[in-house]
């Protein structure tokens, strides 16, 4: 018979501990110190209604850092049921696979020790899907049971703990299995009592409770092998997440905008953690990888001066750029410096040539988000205008790179030109290294299949319809972001309503039909769709437009901001003799796109 999870006992006096606030540095600043992260699901990653965007980004970055994590939830349901709930919320499959529930841990224990014993269920009927294999042993009379299975509160007694005091009177010799030690749950706009509240009543009356879920060890140990690993436990509940970490000698990070938000704001973390007898190593308002500082001029904060500086357009932030930032991060670790990017808006080539309208691989916001994921600490987005275009190269070096930025290492490509009439080049930068106390780094370009990987090359691939190769060199799907506008509603008239998006100054990929994935801004939920990027020759139109038909969708998306990820190129755009021919072709295109 397996050993029962140990009953907890915590210290009454907490040794002095300085809780470090990570709001400025983000969890990125400590991720290298740990092998495994236990992260509370409900409270840190979502609130029962929506996913927390910053937390999802942090999970993605933890994975990129080759670290293991588990999303633990005190939920009296099978892990697969929790995953199904999260899928509807829009959580990516790779993240869902990291989920482990207290109900799953309890089920494993019951299968070993209580398989054929009669039990009385305390909780709402919806919780019972976890224990269907035990259904034959469920009794309706409390007195007929060998043990109690508590998953929550009865639906008609959801806030009345006195009812349970009467129920348990003189009946505390039975063992209670509690599948969720939480006392309360925060459901975004309201709080509800949980199974832990009922179990606490039973325990105070002298009953024995076997708990599953945080803070008890079983759920941690079942979910992943943590032996001889450096572990950080992240949660918003001092009673469960943080005490669980303390019990198992893990370090802890408290997310302060959850259960204890009001207390911490009023009393401070030191007083609140002592009140709950919990040791908190780190605190963060919300789980966040970090915030990249953005500047519009060279007047930067003191903490960012003396950094590694990368200068360029970085359009698309492709594999060649990513290699560059990997090299910069090596310098960052070696010399304990920050990474800054200097880029220009609009792109100089577009500024000097009014005939270039569609040029960008990615817009400025996409670029910033990707740079942030590559470890950039700050970005200077300098407005490129008539005045700045006339700045001499010597002035740029002395006043901006030296006096304003105090750059220590400067990464530039070999063909980098700067200053009025492009008078400055890499050799000029190198010749001034001693004068201005910096070092120029010229990484070799990335060459694949005898081709230098560049933004120009990727634009050409997109224009020629080689989406697959372009996506591989971007290391992601090429994406257009834009706002849905009201159009001529030609698609709706022929039975295929579309979202019309002006592509602004994005490069015009080969006109045609594409299989795409659509995401609504501030949402992680994605939907398959089909898109036409082109001029709509059947309707005699001349302006380039992106039209997107989302599968199995009905609703109003006007003025909503969408991102459209281009997955596969299906066919070239062509003019049809009539609308019926077009409709027939669209039906065939839909079949192809749905298979993609």
CATH code: domain of residue 390: 3.40.50.620
Res 593 pLDDT > 60? yes
Task: Examine the domain organization and report whether 194 and 255 are in the same domain.
Answer: no
Task: Examine the domain organization and report whether 27 and 75 are in the same domain.
Answer: yes
Confidence at 330, pLDDT banded by 50, 70, 90: very high
Q: What is the CATH number of the domain that holds 279?
A: 3.40.50.1000
- Percent of the chain with pLDDT strictly greater than 90: 70
Mean pLDDT in residue range 437-461: 95
Q: pTM here?
A: 0.74
Lowest average pLDDT, out of 267-276, 375-384, 549-558, goes to 549-558
Res 8 pLDDT > 70? no
Contact predicate 443/530, CB 8 Å: no
Exposure string for 137-172, b = 16+ CB within 10 A, e = fewer: beeeeeeebebbbbbbbbeeeeeeeebbeebbeeeb
Q: How far apart are the first and last CA of the chain?
A: 50
Domain count, the chain: 4
- For residue 455, is it within any domain? no
Task: Examine the domain organization and report whether 318 and 438 are in the same domain.
Answer: yes
Q: Which residue has the tokens 């082109």?
A: 534
Domain boundary among 165, 193, 211: 211
Task: Examine the domain organization and report whether 354 and 440 are in the same domain.
Answer: yes
Q: In what order do the strands lie in the sheet with 175-178?
A: 119-122, 147-150, 175-178, 208-211
How far is residue 56's CA from residue 373's CA, in Å, rounded to a whole number? Answer: 13
Task: Examine the domain organization and report whether 323 and 438 are in the same domain.
Answer: yes
Domain boundary among 284, 319, 340: 284
Task: Examine the domain organization and report whether 576 and 589 are in the same domain.
Answer: yes
Res 505 pLDDT > 90? yes
- For residue 464, is it within any domain? no
- For residue 472, is it within any domain? no
pLDDT for the residue 267: 95
- For residue 591, is it within any domain? yes
Task: Examine the domain organization and report whether 203 and 255 are in the same domain.
Answer: no
Give the pLDDT confidence of 25-43 residue by residue, as tens digits.
Answer: 899 989 999 999 999 999 9
The token duo for 88 is: 């509807």
Mean residue pLDDT across the chain? 90
Mean pLDDT in residue range 539-568: 89
Mean pLDDT in residue range 312-323: 96
Task: Examine the domain organization and report whether 167 and 241 are in the same domain.
Answer: no
- For residue 4, is it within any domain? no
Res 543 pLDDT > 70? yes
Cα–Cα distance list, 557 to 479, 500, 519, 560, 563 (Å): 18, 10, 12, 5, 12
Task: Examine the domain organization and report whether 303 and 408 are in the same domain.
Answer: yes
Lowest average pLDDT, out of 255-269, 317-331, 414-428, 481-495, goes to 481-495
Q: Which residue has the tokens 């801004």?
A: 521
pLDDT for the residue 13: 40
Lowest average pLDDT, out of 89-98, 188-197, 432-441, goes to 188-197
Res 123 pLDDT > 60? yes
User: What residues make up the domain containing 496?
Assistant: 477-595
pLDDT for the residue 373: 87
Task: Examine the domain organization and report whether 310 and 374 are in the same domain.
Answer: yes
pLDDT for the residue 64: 86
pLDDT for the residue 569: 97
Res 413 pLDDT > 50? yes
Confidence at 540, pLDDT banded by 50, 70, 90: low
Domain boundary among 239, 261, 284: 284
- For residue 590, is it within any domain? yes
Res 6 pLDDT > 80? no
How far is residue 188's CA from residue 190's CA, in Å, rounded to a whole number? Answer: 6
pLDDT for the residue 441: 96
Contacts 24+ apart (CB under 8 A), 12-19: 12/277, 14/273, 14/274, 14/277, 14/278, 14/279, 15/279, 17/279, 17/280, 17/281, 19/254, 19/269, 19/270, 19/273, 19/280, 19/281, 19/282, 19/283
Mean pLDDT in residue range 554-581: 90
- For residue 466, is it within any domain? no
Q: What is the CATH number of the domain that holds 540?
A: 2.40.30.30
Task: Examine the domain organization and report whether 43 and 83 are in the same domain.
Answer: yes
Confidence at 298, pLDDT banded by 50, 70, 90: very high
- For residue 495, is it within any domain? yes
Which residues lie below 8 Å from residue 32, measured CB to CB, with a gap of 6+?
Answer: 65
Task: Examine the domain organization and report whether 400 and 500 are in the same domain.
Answer: no
Give the pLDDT confidence of 341-375 residue by residue, as tens digits.
Answer: 999 999 999 999 988 989 999 999 999 999 998 98
């Amino acid at each position: 018979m397996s050993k029962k999870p140990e009953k907890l006992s915590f210290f009454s006096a907490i040794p002095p501990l300085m809780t470090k606030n990570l709001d400025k540095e983000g969890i990125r600043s400590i991720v290298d110190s740990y092998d495994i992260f236990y992260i509370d699901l409900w409270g840190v990653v979502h609130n029962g209604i929506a996913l927390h965007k910053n937390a999802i980004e942090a999970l993605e970055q933890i994975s990129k850092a080759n670290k293991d994590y588990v999303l633990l939830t005190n939920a009296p349901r099978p892990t697969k049921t929790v995953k199904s709930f999260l899928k509807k919320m829009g959580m990516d499959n790779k993240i869902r696979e990291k989920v482990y529930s207290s109900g799953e841990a309890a089920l494993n224990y019951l299968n070993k020790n209580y398989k054929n014993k009669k039990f009385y269920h305390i909780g709402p009927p919806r919780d019972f899907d976890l224990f269907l294999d035990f259904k034959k042993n469920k009794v309706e009379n409390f007195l007929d049971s060998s043990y109690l299975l508590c998953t929550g509160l009865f639906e008609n007694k959801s806030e009345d703990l006195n009812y349970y005091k009467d129920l348990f009177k003189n009946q505390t010799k039975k063992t209670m299995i509690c599948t969720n030690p939480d006392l309360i749950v925060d459901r975004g706009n309201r709080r509800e009592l949980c199974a832990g509240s009922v179990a606490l009543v039973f325990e105070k009356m002298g009953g024995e409770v076997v708990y599953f879920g945080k803070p008890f060890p079983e759920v941690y140990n079942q979910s992943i092998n943590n032996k001889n690993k450096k572990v950080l436990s992240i949660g918003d509940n001092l009673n469960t997440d943080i005490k669980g970490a303390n019990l198992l000698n893990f370090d802890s990070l408290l997310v302060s905008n959850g259960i204890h938000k009001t207390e911490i704001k009023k009393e401070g973390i030191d007083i609140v953690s002592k009140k709950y007898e919990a040791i908190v190593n780190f605190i963060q308002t919300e789980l966040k990888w970090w915030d990249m500082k953005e500047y519009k001029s060279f007047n930067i904060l003191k903490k960012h001066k003396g950094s590694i500086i990368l200068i360029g357009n970085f359009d698309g932030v492709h594999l060649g750029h990513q290699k560059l930032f990997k090299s910069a991060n090596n310098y960052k670790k070696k010399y304990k410096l920050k990474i800054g990017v200097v880029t220009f808006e609009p792109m100089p080539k577009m500024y000097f040539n009014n005939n270039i309208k569609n040029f960008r691989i990615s817009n400025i916001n996409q670029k910033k988000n990707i740079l942030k994921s590559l470890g950039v600490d700050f970005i200077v987005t300098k407005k490129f205008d008539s005045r700045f275009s006339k700045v001499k190269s010597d002035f740029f070096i002395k006043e901006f790179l030296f006096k304003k930025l105090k750059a220590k290492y400067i990464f530039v490509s070999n063909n980098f030109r700067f200053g009025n009439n492009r008078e400055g080049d890499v050799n000029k930068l190198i010749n001034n290294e001693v004068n201005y106390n910096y070092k120029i780094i010229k990484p070799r370009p990335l060459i694949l299949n005898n081709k230098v990987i560049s933004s120009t090359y990727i634009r050409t691939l997109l224009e020629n319809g080689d989406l697959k190769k372009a996506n591989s060199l971007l290391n992601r799907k090429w994406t257009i972001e834009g706002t849905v506008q009201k159009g001529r509603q030609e698609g709706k008239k022929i039975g295929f309503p579309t979202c019309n998006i002006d592509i602004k100054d994005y490069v015009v990929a080969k006109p045609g039909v594409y299989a795409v994935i659509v995401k609504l801004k501030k949402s992680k939920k994605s939907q398959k769709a089909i898109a036409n990027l082109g001029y709509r020759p059947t309707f005699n139109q001349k302006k380039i437009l992106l039209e997107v038909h989302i599968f199995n969708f009905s609703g109003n998306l006007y003025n909503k901001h969408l991102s459209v990820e281009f997955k596969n190129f299906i066919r070239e755009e062509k003019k049809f003799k009539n609308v019926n021919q077009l409709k027939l072709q669209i039906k065939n295109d839909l079949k192809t796109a749905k298979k993609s």
